C-alpha cells in the first residue's frame, strides 16, 4: 500500500480538477481539512486518470485514522458522494473504496450501517452483489452489533432483499423477506403491508417455491386476512386445484393485476394438489389423477415425471394397473397433525430399537 497523499497534495490535485477549494490547509485540524476535501472530491470520480484511485484511497485512509466520533458525519458525506456518482462512473472503484472503508472500520461502529447500505446500492447498479457479504446470519449479527433501531433494520433488510432479487438469488431473498416480515411489531404492522404483499406475490410467482404455510404465521400477512391476496395465498397453502380454478373464474382481473401467470399458477396448484393426495394415499389411480388434476389420460405420465423432478414427491408409475405408487411426499403444511405423526413414527422407531436391543442381549448375554 502506498502512503496516503499529504493534505496539501490532495488539495492541489482536487483544485487542478476544477473544484472550488483552497490549496492551504485549514486551521481546524485534520477533520476540517477532510470535510473540505470530501465536499469537493466528486470532481475526481468523473475522471479516468490513473491518479484518481490513489487520491480516493488516500481520503479513505485518512478517514480511518480520525477519532471515531469525528468520523461519522464525514463517512456519511463520502458515502453519499460515492452512491450519487452517475451511473457508469467508475463503479468498481467506488465499490473498492466503500469496501476498504467498511473493512477498515471498527466492527461495531454504528456508521458501518451507512457504508454497508452504500455498498449494496453501488453493487446493485453494476451486478456485483456476489462480492458483498449478504448472508442472513452475518446481517443479523451486524444489526445487533450496530445497535440499529427498527427503521434502520427494516431499511437494511429491504435493501439486501432487493439486491438478492435483482441478481436472481430467489431463495436467499425469500429468507431475508421472511426475516423482515417477522421483525414487524403491532405498531408498524400497517407499513408492513407493502412488504407482505410483495413477499406473497414473489413466492407465488417463484417456480421453485412450493411450501408457503410459514407465511401465514407472519403478523403482516395475518394483517391481510379477508383480502383477496390472503385468500389466494391460503389456496396455495392448503386447498386443491378446483378451489384455485373457482377463484380464478371470479377474480381473473385480480390475478392479472398481480402480474401472475394463470398457466403457471395452474401448474403449481396441480403439483400442490398431487402432493396432498400423495401424503394421504400410497396408491392413486390414473382416474383420480385425471379428475383431481384436470388432466387428459395421455398427460398423466408426463405430469408424474415433472412432479418427481421437483423432489417434492417420490413415486413410480404402474402402467398395467393404471396407478401411481407413492413412496414419499412432502407435507404442504406442518401443523399439529404432522407433529403427531412425527411423534408417533419416532415413538415406534424407539420401540423397535428396544426390541432389537433385547433380542441382541438374548443372543449374546455379554452385549
The per-residue pLDDT for range 222-279, each reduced to its tens digit, is: 888 899 999 999 999 989 999 999 999 999 999 999 999 999 999 999 999 999 999 8
- By DSSP bridging, strand 313-318 and strand 283-285 are unpaired
pLDDT of residue 229: 93
Q: Residue 329's beta-bridge partner residues?
A: 313
- Cα separations (Å) of 13 from 19, 70, 252? 9, 24, 63
d(CA 228, CA 125): 35
pLDDT of residue 90: 78
pLDDT of residue 1: 43
Q: Helix crossing, 286-293 with 262-280: angle to 10°?
A: 140
pLDDT of residue 28: 62
C-alpha cell belonging to residue 178? 421472511
Q: Chain-centre distance of CA 29, in angstroms? A: 44
Q: To 10 degrees, the CA torsion angle through 106, 109, 114, 120?
A: 50
pLDDT of residue 32: 74
Judge whether 323 and 285 are in contact, CB under 8 Å.
Answer: yes
What's the whole-model pTM score?
Answer: 0.69
Give the residues of the chain that fall short of pLDDT 70: 1-5, 16-20, 22-29, 47-49, 85-88, 189-190, 334-345, 365-367
User: Of 312, 279, 286, which is closest to residue 301 (Cα–Cα)?
Assistant: 286
Amino acid at each position: 500500500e502506498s502512503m496516503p497523499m499529504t493534505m496539501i497534495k490532495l488539495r492541489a490535485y482536487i483544485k487542478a480538477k476544477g473544484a472550488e477549494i483552497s490549496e492551504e490547509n485549514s486551521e481546524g485540524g485534520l477533520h476540517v481539512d477532510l470535510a473540505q476535501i470530501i465536499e469537493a472530491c466528486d470532481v475526481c470520480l468523473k475522471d479516468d486518470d490513473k491518479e484518481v484511485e490513489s487520491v480516493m484511497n488516500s481520503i479513505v485512509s485518512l478517514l480511518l485514522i480520525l477519532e471515531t466520533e469525528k468520523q461519522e458525519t464525514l463517512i456519511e458525506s463520502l458515502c453519499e458522494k460515492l452512491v450519487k456518482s452517475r451511473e457508469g462512473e467508475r463503479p468498481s472503484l467506488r465499490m473498492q473504496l466503500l469496501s476498504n472503508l467498511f473493512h477498515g472500520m471498527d466492527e461495531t461502529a454504528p456508521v458501518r450501517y451507512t457504508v454497508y447500505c452504500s455498498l449494496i446500492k453501488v453493487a446493485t447498479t453494476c451486478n456485483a452483489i456476489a462480492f458483498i457479504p449478504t448472508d442472513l446470519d452475518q446481517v443479523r449479527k451486524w444489526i445487533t452489533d450496530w445497535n440499529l433501531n427498527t427503521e434502520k433494520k427494516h431499511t437494511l433488510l429491504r435493501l439486501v432483499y432487493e439486491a438478492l432479487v435483482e441478481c436472481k438469488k430467489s431463495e436467499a431473498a425469500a429468507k431475508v423477506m421472511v426475516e423482515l416480515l417477522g421483525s414487524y411489531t403491532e405498531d408498524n404492522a400497517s407499513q408492513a403491508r407493502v412488504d407482505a404483499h410483495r413477499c406473497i406475490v414473489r413466492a407465488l410467482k417463484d417456480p421453485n417455491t412450493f411450501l408457503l404455510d410459514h407465511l401465514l404465521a407472519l403478523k403482516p400477512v395475518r394483517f391481510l386476512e379477508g383480502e383477496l391476496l390472503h385468500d389466494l395465498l391460503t389456496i396455495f397453502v392448503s386447498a386443491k386445484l378446483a378451489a384455485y380454478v373457482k377463484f380464478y373464474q371470479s377474480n381473473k382481473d385480480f390475478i392479472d393485476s398481480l402480474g401472475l401467470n394463470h398457466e403457471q399458477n395452474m401448474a403449481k396448484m396441480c403439483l400442490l394438489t398431487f402432493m396432498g393426495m400423495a401424503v394421504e394415499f400410497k396408491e392413486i389411480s390414473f382416474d383420480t389423477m385425471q379428475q383431481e388434476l384436470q388432466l387428459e389420460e395421455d398427460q398423466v405420465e408426463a405430469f408424474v415425471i415433472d412432479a418427481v423432478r421437483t423432489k417434492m414427491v417420490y413415486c413410480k408409475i404402474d402402467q398395467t394397473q393404471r396407478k401411481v405408487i407413492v413412496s414419499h411426499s412432502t407435507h404442504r403444511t406442518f401443523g399439529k397433525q404432522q407433529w403427531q405423526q412425527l411423534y408417533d413414527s419416532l415413538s415406534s422407531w424407539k420401540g423397535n430399537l428396544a426390541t432389537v436391543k433385547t433380542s441382541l442381549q438374548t443372543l449374546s448375554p455379554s452385549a
